[in-house]
Structure 1
């Protein structure tokens, strides 16, 4: 018998017509996109699983319209970590649509921490102890961003639909992604200020 699973996704932007263009999504109409993303969720996430949406569930539609789309998702336990485009899901008209979480939510499962937020972070709780930071917001397309994190030993993963074939990704898949990867540990402040690779910054840092 299949055990219950935990899944993650983000940046669905249901109802947001411009999302068809700025992320090159494979649908021609917004209704097709809405139905396609929901169908992809229902194909993987079962009724008694748990699904965490890390922000930007919908945009440019009313809360009631967005709540109606939520009813098409089979999963009973859908958590929402708020993003910059999300509604007030504690409003009495739509209260109960989601299990609304804190902007930074920490899960501890089988001795490992998962730090969830909509926005990506350079440093996060228990980073040196192989905690995994899951986020959205940046709309990375394809696997390149996640591959670059893995290559550098950064346990950071974009769960957004654009980075994962417009489908949610399971906790098991994320663990397998980082299997055998040596954890880099905490990011040094010099790395934060040299993100662009600017030669002037490198010279300045070399002189410290």
Structure 2
């Protein structure tokens, strides 16, 4: 079974005010929800894996289940600051964590595995950042200036055409950055 890995954040399903706050191009929360579901499912198949970095839904608990059941893939949730209602339907998620250190098989990465720190909030430094470990985050809705020398960036939908990003898309963005190991080739 071939599984693709995706990353995303900050859908804010059911949140009318996010349309105004983030200047989203939708005339209603119903239109926004429908389009976000459509764009998710155009990229993610039922067999794929999605790491959602928080703020998936602000809908009332009775509506969360209906929305989440329309999304393809196995979803792993990193809690955001607006996930109380989503937590009411915890069975939809493979797991729910505050923070996660992911390791992805990648022949181009050191030792054949790319390490990625997943957290709702942006960090200046993180575990093994000096070794090239990536950091993906959300929360800022594209309002936090990207650091072109850091192997981190905002995977929120407001920054990426309202759709999840595949591992390969994340890798392409990260590798365009002008990152240099701060300590050279030192051994610890």
> TM-score if structure 1 supplies the norm length?
0.78
Residues matched between the structures, number: 175
Task: Report the Cα distance in structure 1 between the residues aligned to 2:156 and 2:29, rounded to whole angstroms.
Answer: 18
Aligned partner of 1:28 in structure 2 is 27
Q: What secondary structure is seen at the aligned counterpart in 2 of 1:121?
A: coil
CA distance in 1, matches of 2:76, 2:61: 16
Q: Structure 1 unaligned runs (5+)? A: 187-208
Larger Rg: 1
Cα RMSD over matched residues?
2.0
2:171 is matched with 175
The corresponding residue for 2:66 is 68
**Once the 2 structures are TM-superposed, how far is the Cα of residue 180 of structure 1 from its aligned partner?**
5.5
In the TM superposition, structure 1's runs of 4+ consecutive aligned residues that sit over 6 Å from their partners are none
CA contact (8 A) 1:13 1:19 kept: yes
> 2: distance between equivalents of 1:127 and 1:182?
14
CA deviations on 1:7-36 (whole Å, 9 max, x unpaired) are: 011110000000110111111010000010
* Aligned mates of 2:116, 2:20 — CA distance in 1: 32
Q: Determine which of 70, 79, 83 is the counterpart of 1:82.
A: 79
Per the alignment, do residues 18 and 109 of structure 1 end up closer, same or farther by CA in structure 2, a change over 3 Å counting? same
Which residue does 2:131 correspond to in 1?
129
